[in-house]
Amino acid sequence: MRMQGKVALITGGASGMGAASARRLRQEGAEVVITDVQTELGRSVAEAAGLTFLRHDVSDADSWSSVMQQVAARFGRLDIVMNNAGIVGTGNIETITLPDWHRVMSVNLTGVMLGCQHAIAAMRRNPGGSGGSIINVSSIAGLAGMAIDAAYSSSKGGVRLLTKSVAVHCARNKLAIRCNSIHPGTIDTPILSPALDSAPDRAALHSFLSNLSPMGHMGTGDDIAAMVVFLASDESAYVTGAEMLVDGGLMAQVSGM
């Protein structure tokens, strides 16, 4: 029960890594609010796990204000924010359209910026004094370029450095608010479903993705949830501005060796 007495907000919490992290934080004693644009699925996940669901478009500043007002009214504090909502892009640098570029950036980067901004404002007002943990979900694509998806890589790279900026700002201003990024590798979540379903050979693509890491399998939402609990807890009190890889060793290897 490391999270007893704490309140957490997780965007993109209706499925995948967000839902797994929400369930784990709830098991550890936190009150957890999940938000998503997938209303029916979000409500189902929340009901099953004893969570609170709010519909929320992370790219919209007014939607953030509404969510934060509801969290404050119900719980009176906010200790953990996991900026997890994200979407994939639709092409490489030669094929992506400007509307698609803006769509990915609005969710994956602007949404995280707004999440950090609103989290800091809420955490400053916590009873007992300012404090909290902001956890931003980036990707291994935020550390190394992914040629097939220029917008996704760019947005996740932006999340990586935004996290460091937020961490240094909060530390220098003695806010007791930490900010770290998680960089998942290939994680078996619903975000992969469109690619798998459209592949000529689904089994072959699944095998390829599984064997990208030297561990020889994809990670799960629970693997990410374990890292979230660590970063949300007091056990990581001296960790801020860090890049936490959860990738089965994918980024540690030299290709072909």
Burial class (CB in 10 A: 0-12, 13-18, 19+), 151: buried
Same domain, 98 and 13: yes
- Across all residues in the chain, what is the average pLDDT? 94
Same domain, 151 and 208: no
**Any domain includes 33:** yes
**Segment 72-103, tens digit of pLDDT:** 999 999 999 999 999 998 899 999 999 999 99
Same domain, 214 and 172: no
- The catalytic residues are 152
Same domain, 210 and 134: no
245's CB contacts (< 8 A; 6+ apart) are: 140, 143, 183, 185, 251
More confident residue, 31 or 214: 31
Same domain, 178 and 212: no
Which pLDDT band, with edges at 50, 70 and 90, does 255 fall under? low
**Any domain includes 138:** yes
- Which DSSP string corresponds to the chain? -TTTT-EEEEETTTSHHHHHHHHHHHHTT-EEEEEES-HHHHHHHHHHHT-EEEE--TT-HHHHHHHHHHHHHHHS---EEEE---------TTT--HHHHHHHHIIIIIHHHHHHHHHHHHHHT-TTSS-EEEEEE--GGGTS--TT-HHHHHHHHHHHHHHHHHHHHHHHTT--EEEEEEEE-SB-SGGGHHHHHHSSSHHHHHHHHHTSSTTSS-B-HHHHHHHHHHHHSGGGTT--S-EEEESTTGGGSPTT-
More confident residue, 185 or 212: 185
What is the per-residue pLDDT for 90? 84
Which pLDDT band, with edges at 50, 70 and 90, does 104 fall under? very high
Same domain, 28 and 129: yes
Q: Give the separation between CA 50 and CA 100, rounded to whole angstroms.
A: 36
What is the per-residue pLDDT for 74? 98
Among 127-131, 176-180, 190-194, 214-218, name the one with the lowest average pLDDT: 190-194
**Any domain includes 72:** yes
Does residue 257 carry a pLDDT above 70? no
**Any domain includes 48:** yes
Same domain, 100 and 227: yes
Same domain, 17 and 74: yes
Does residue 256 carry a pLDDT above 70? no
**Any domain includes 160:** yes
**Any domain includes 130:** yes
Which pLDDT band, with edges at 50, 70 and 90, does 188 fall under? confident
Same domain, 142 and 205: no
**Any domain includes 255:** no
Which pLDDT band, with edges at 50, 70 and 90, does 198 fall under? confident
The whole-model pTM stands at: 0.94
**Any domain includes 256:** no
Instruction: Domain count for the chain, please give it.
Output: 2
- Which DSSP string corresponds to 176-212? -EEEEEEEE-SB-SGGGHHHHHHSSSHHHHHHHHHTS
Same domain, 226 and 128: yes
Same domain, 174 and 200: no
Same domain, 200 and 117: no
71's CB contacts (< 8 A; 6+ apart) are: 7, 9, 33, 78, 122
Domain housing 20: 7-184+220-244
**Segment 228-250, tens digit of pLDDT:** 999 999 999 999 999 999 999 99
Record the tokens describing residue 181, joined without a space.
Answer: 């990024």
